[in-house]
Copies of this chain bind each other. A is one copy, B any other.
Amino acid sequence: MDIAKINQTPCYAVIFNSVLKNSVEGYEEMAEKMVELARQQPGFLGFESIRDKIGITISYWADQESIHNWKNYSEHLLAQKLGKNQWYKSYAIRICKIERQYYFDTE
């Protein structure tokens, strides 16, 4: 997992924070599948994800339309339904417009 390098501003970020239930059979496989599918969507720009006690996943998108299309993509709709019913204790989704970005790199 690296820092996503996004070369366009403005663009959009979806911040997805979540807390899993204790038993999450099938979750990891579905999460990996969704990342693979998201990467193939028009307007997908990048992705960062870490999980400890809570999970933070940030996906980056060219525009709101791309986010809307991904939200309503059939296999993603199924994953969302399973997530609410089986895996997530709680979550927050925040749709954000990225207005400015700065990078620092020592290499």
Contacts and interface: CB of A to CB of B under 8 A. Distances in A.
A3 B90 contact: yes
Interface residues on A, range: 35 or more
Main SS class of interface, A: strand
A2 to B, nearest CB: 7
Interface in A37-83: 48, 50-56, 58
Contacts of A6: 94
Interface string A1-37: 1111110000001010111010000000000000000
B98 A95 contact: yes
Interface of A: 1-6, 13, 15, 17-19, 21, 48, 50-56, 58, 84, 88-107
